[in-house]
Amino acid sequence: MIRLARVGAPKQPYYRIVVIEKDRARNGRSIEVVGTYNPRTNPATVNLKHDRIAYWRSVGATLSPIMQKLVAKNPAVPETPAPVVTDPTPSPAVSDPAAA
């Protein structure tokens, strides 16, 4: 199951998004941390490892109701490769000190 685990101080909630066995305690030992959620920022900050969430869902992990909402509001952004910039000017010739 993929769900939230609270790790913040009292009255300062901060959550890890974890893959954990369904019958474990809320903050029990998790299998993997796949993101974070900070509701105290404006707007709330959500960092997700979409590739890992997709993997765990493919092997049978389910999302908690809160996680379903967070994933729906933060869809995976496809990574676009950085454009390759070529310099049209030739580089200056480098003298070879061994040839001299």
Residue spans of the domains in the chain: they are 2-66
With a cut of 70, say whether residue 44 has pLDDT above it.
yes
Per-residue pLDDT of 65-92, as tens digits, reads: 999 999 899 887 666 666 666 766 666 6
Return the closest-CA partner of residue 53 out of 71, 29, 39: 71
With a cut of 70, say whether residue 99 has pLDDT above it.
no
State residue 29's pLDDT score.
85
Instruction: Provide the sign of the torsion angle of the four alpha carbons 86, 87, 90, 92, taken in this order.
Output: negative
Return the closest-CA partner of residue 48 out of 16, 25, 22: 16
Of the pLDDT bands very low, low, confident and very high (cuts 50, 70, 90), residue 24 is confident
With tokens 């939230």, the residue in question is: 4
Question: Going by CATH, does the domain composed of 2-66 fall within 3.40.250.10?
Answer: no
DSSP-assigned states of every residue in the chain: -EEEEE-SBTTB--EEEEE--TTS-TTS--SEEEEEEETTSSSPEEEE-HHHHHHHHHTT--B-HHHHHHHHHSPPPPPPPPPPP--SSPPPPPP-TTT-
Return the closest-CA partner of residue 2 out of 13, 14, 17, 15: 17
pTM over 0.95: no
